[in-house]
Structure 1
Amino acid sequence: MFGSASLEPTLPVFLRKQVWGRREREGECSLWVREMANKVLSEMGLPKSITNIFTARNLLTAKDVLSLTEFELMELLDVGFAEVTTAVAQVSEISSPPYQTALSLLEQCIQNEYLSGHLPTRLKGLDEVLCGGIPFGVLTELVGPAGIGKTQFCMKLSLLASLPTKFGGLEGRVIYVDVESKFSSRRMIEIGVSSFPDIFHMEGMAQEMAGRILVLQPSSLAEFTESLQQIKVSLLQHQVKLLVIDSMTAVVSGDTSLSVVFRSLAEFSRIPVVVTNQVRSQCSDEISQYAFQVQSRDDTIEESARFDSHLVPALGIHWSHAVTIRLVLEAKSGERFMKVAKSPISPPLVFPFNITSSGISLLTDVGVEMIGPQINAIQNQGHSDVINFLSERLP
């Protein structure tokens, strides 16, 4: 006999098999899932009689046992159903990760934030709601229509990451993947001169900071994929403190598998990774995406029209799951707004802003909380795509 049958029932085997198979195919196994799968039965403290039978049938790891149905195990081990379910319950209990309390998770979160840090945006209201700025170790996404200010924001972040620490920067290198050839060194220097005149008027400082920003301009998906290896090497060999991809939409299109790559890069390197995403027209079938939204179709369309929400992020819902922070830039009635549409540490808030010679500037440091369709609505009404400022006067 395999021992007591008093353990909690395990996950139904058809769900276990789906979890193993799906996670392996997608390459998205989390660390604890891999550890669980590779735990050796002989090292799990199981009764020797159980281990010997499993070993004799070449079942050596937790995955070997939990990937088979109870009936497959009965046939393979030549034992009864009760004995099999008890054995599976013991393997599941020992190999599964322990429970954590909400308090322990909060303590871990605080510790991780302390170790990882943030890149301050110098936008007071935004930095306050994000508890310091753009967080390290996760993906932060900027979504919005063309000309709304996404690249302006990314260039300002690049300057802040390269700024000397004594002036509040990270004093590091920046990798800026300029997929759409929108990066402008002249505009970046203009932002620097307007934002930090005392620093940029120091002899050689502008050249020094500009020299820390490494710009890649892949012209195709193949070049973009090849540049990933160069990025990984640079993260290891240089003091890279920020990675920007502007924009993902131009090369990724409907393929969101690269989200796993960049999320892993963020977690591995513990730096802020910022990506931009374009918008596309919303299909009528996408207006209500979930079965638990019980509004009638007519009511949903009517409410959507009321907020003029016909634009959605171009890379879709699967990409959004990889993103930790989503900032939406939009325009309505000639005014621009920045929305904190997704954040684990902030409610949905909106800030009006404009773009000046020093980049994006919030008109107020107090965000207005959003509810309902406003959170996910992306509007693009009455703003100019042309931003000239003083660029023509720069050398």
Structure 2
Amino acid sequence: MANKLISEIPLPKSIANVFAARNISTAKDALSLTEFELMELLDVGLREVRSALSLISEMVAPPYQTALSLMEQRFEKEHLGGHFPTGLKGLDAALCGGIPFGVLTELVGPAGIGKTQFCLKLSLLASLPTKYGGLDGRVVYVDVESKFSSKRLLEIGLRSFPEIFQMKEMAQEMAGRILVLRPTSLSEFTQSLEQIKVSLLQNQVKMLVIDSMAALVSGEHEQGVRRQQPLSWHISFIKSLAEFSRIPVVVTNQVRSQNHDETSQYPFQVQNRGETNETPTRYDSHLVAALGIHWAHSVTIRLVLEARSGQRFIKVAKSPMSPPLAFPYHITSSGISLLSEEGMELMGPEINSIHCQGLLPTIAFTESEDYQLLGFSGRTFVMENIH
């Protein structure tokens, strides 16, 4: 709008002619000068200049929007498929429909908490036909730590959707839609990113999973500036992939020990009354998300998976559409399942703290005869090169 021509603005003819004579042809030209500069250049009075600038500003300024109109626009976008349901009703309700398209959603938590289990279930759901709530497409799964298990994937499928996965042909088709990459280094992952971008279009990819981003960068650079510099490029590229493809992008992150001079609060969070910088806040947890504050600001949704007194919780720690909530869950043969659809609202430091107290080992799911009957025993679906 700044390049709108002065001749298209309904100014009085006399002042419009003066603008034209002085080669001030666009709104940007006029608004870039002060009132006194325009008075001198146009040789007119202050009243005429202010009247002209007021009309020009009114014509090129973006229109006001009410909270009601913004809400209606958001609901319209959601209706057009802006979120992907996770199958966890309470969590989906909190996120206004599920994992949002076009942004980064992060799963962060200690080892063994269920991050990969969650990713396997999401990948499976995305591969399903739309009539089953899926996206009816392929999934690119970047398996950095070699934790992807085709056996466990089929276990979840058989228990969650027996009508599909009890048929060998259908089970093979669904599992064949999940394309697994196993980069062994950050440089190898970097080389794969452009390939992934092409694959998002050519292979009808409907979801990207990176499990885990922290494992890609750990060991290659020390904490601090040298580590953040290469990571910044990857963050920007992955965000551009999400925005470009308009698909859900899910990235897992690890935890690290909290330093003595750190707090679990972000710098922009307000301290409670009575607290000072000299009075450190006490926390039961000494774990924080890895990858630093720059990464934390880059993700749109942060889901923290933690354990307190042996009970697992999924926390909505960061979301533009939900208050901080925690949902108790457990891991079953069909994947992650919420114990309650009602989220517990969180306050203060509890939002970002990460607990790992009395964590029970993940249930070991053994291979059943169903897998052997389906012909999947020992089979993995690994895509070395995407074409």
TM-score by length of 1: 0.76
**Which residues in structure 2 correspond to 1:101-180 (within 5 Å)?**
101-180=66-145
Supply the AA of the counterpart residue of 1:238.
Answer: N
User: Aligned in 2, Cα 1:231/1:85: closer, same or farther, shift over 3 Å?
Assistant: farther
Counterparts in 2 of 1:85 and 1:314: CA distance versus 1, 3 Å: farther
Kindly indicate whether residue 332 of structure 2 is the aligned counterpart of residue 356 of structure 1: yes
Cross-structure match for 1:301: 281
Q: Distance in 2 between matches of 1:380 and 1:187?
A: 24
Offset at 1:344?
A: 2.6
**How many Å apart are 1:230 and its aligned residue?**
1.8
For the residues of structure 2 that align with 1:207 and 1:245, how far apart are their CA atoms?
23
1:160-309 maps to which residues of 2 (within 5 A)? 160-251=125-216, 254=228, 255-283=231-259, 284-287=261-264, 289-290=267-268, 292-293=270-271, 295-297=275-277, 299-302=279-282, 305=283, 308-309=284-285
Query: Aligned with 2:142: secondary structure?
Result: strand
- SS of aligned partner of 2:78: helix
Instruction: Output the CA distance in 2 between the equivalents of 1:110 and 1:224.
Output: 36
Q: Structure 1 residues 103 and 333, CA, compared in 2 at 3 Å: closer, same or farther?
A: same
Tell me by how many angstroms 1:232 deviates: 1.9
Q: Is residue 326–residue 346 contact of structure 2 (8 Å, CA) maintained in 1? A: yes
The whole-number CA distance in structure 1 between the counterparts of 2:53 and 2:237 is: 34
CA distance in 2 between partners of 1:54 and 1:228 (Å): 48
Change (3 A) 1:233 1:311: same
What residue identity is the alignment partner of 1:130? L
Distance between the aligned counterparts of 1:79 and 1:218, measured in 2? Answer: 68
Partner secondary structure for residue 297 of structure 1: coil
1:315-326, aligned counterparts within 5 Å? 315-326=291-302
User: 1-side partners of 2:140 and 2:176: how far apart?
Assistant: 11
RMSD of the alignment, in Å? 3.5
Q: How many Å separate the matches in 1 of 2:52 and 2:184?
A: 55
- Describe the shift of the 1:219–1:373 C-alpha distance in structure 2 as closer, same or farther (beyond 3 A): same
Identity of aligned residues (%): 61
1:131 and 1:291, CA in 2 relative to 1: closer, same or farther beyond 3 A?
Answer: closer
CA drift of 1:159 comes to 0.5
Secondary structure at the aligned position of 1:364 is classed as coil
Q: Which residue of 1 aligns with 2:63?
A: 98
Q: How far is 1:227 from its partner?
A: 1.9
Q: Count how many residue pairs are aligned between Structure 1 and Structure 2.
A: 350
In structure 1, list runs of 5 or more residues that go unmatched: 1-35
State the shift of 1:113 in Å. Answer: 0.8
- The AA in structure 2 aligned to 1:377 is S
Q: Report matched runs for 1:21-40 at 5 Å.
A: 39=3
Question: The residue matched to 1:204 in structure 2 has which SS?
Answer: helix
Counterpart Cα distance in 1 of 2:206 and 2:154: 19
Aligned partner of residue 247 in structure 2, secondary structure: coil
Equivalent position amino acid for 1:337 in 2:
F
In structure 2, C-alpha distance between the alignment counterparts of 1:198 and 1:114, rounded to whole Å:
28
- From 344, 347, 352, give the equivalent of 1:376: 352
Q: For residue 277 of structure 2, what is the amino acid of its counterpart?
A: R
Structure 1 position 129, deviation (Å): 2.2
1:111 Cα deviation after fit: 0.9
Q: Quickly say closer, same or farther: Cα 1:89–1:291, change in 2 above 3 A.
A: farther
Given that residues 19 and 42 in structure 2 are in contact (C-alpha distance below 8 angstroms), is that contact kept between their aligned partners in structure 1?
Answer: no
- Measure the CA separation in 2 of the matches of 1:261 and 1:54: 42
With a CA cutoff of 8 Å and minimum separation of 6, indicate the structure with the bigger relative contact order. Answer: 2
Q: Deviations over 1:345-374 (max 9, x none)?
A: 322211111112221111222221111221
- Structure 2 unaligned regions, length at least 5: 218-226, 372-376, 378-387
Separation (CA, whole Å) in 1 of partners of 2:144 and 2:54: 51
Instruction: Say if 2:336 is the partner of 1:345.
Output: no
**Rounded Cα–Cα distance in structure 2 between residues aligned with 1:86 and 1:143:** 56
Say which of 329, 346, 350 aligns to 2:305. Answer: 329
Residue 375 of structure 1 aligns with an amino acid whose one-letter code is I
Q: More displaced, 123-132 or 158-167?
A: 123-132
User: Which amino acid letter does the alignment assign opposite residue 253 of structure 2?
Assistant: N
Task: Tell me if structure 2 keeps the 8 A contact 1:149–1:355.
Answer: yes
Indicate if the aligned counterparts of 1:331 and 1:381 stay in contact, CA closer than 8 A.
Answer: yes
- 8 A contact 1:162–1:174 mirrored in 2: yes
8 Å Cα contact 1:41/1:51 also seen in 2: no
What is residue 4 of structure 1 aligned with on the other side? none
Counting only pairs closer than 5 Å after superposition, residues 37-52 of structure 1 correspond to structure 2 as: 39=3, 45=9, 47=16, 49-50=18-19
In structure 1, the residue corresponding to 2:191 is in which secondary structure? helix
**Matched letter for residue 129 of structure 2:** P
Match of 1:388 in 2: 364
Contact 2:18 2:42 in 1 (8 A): no
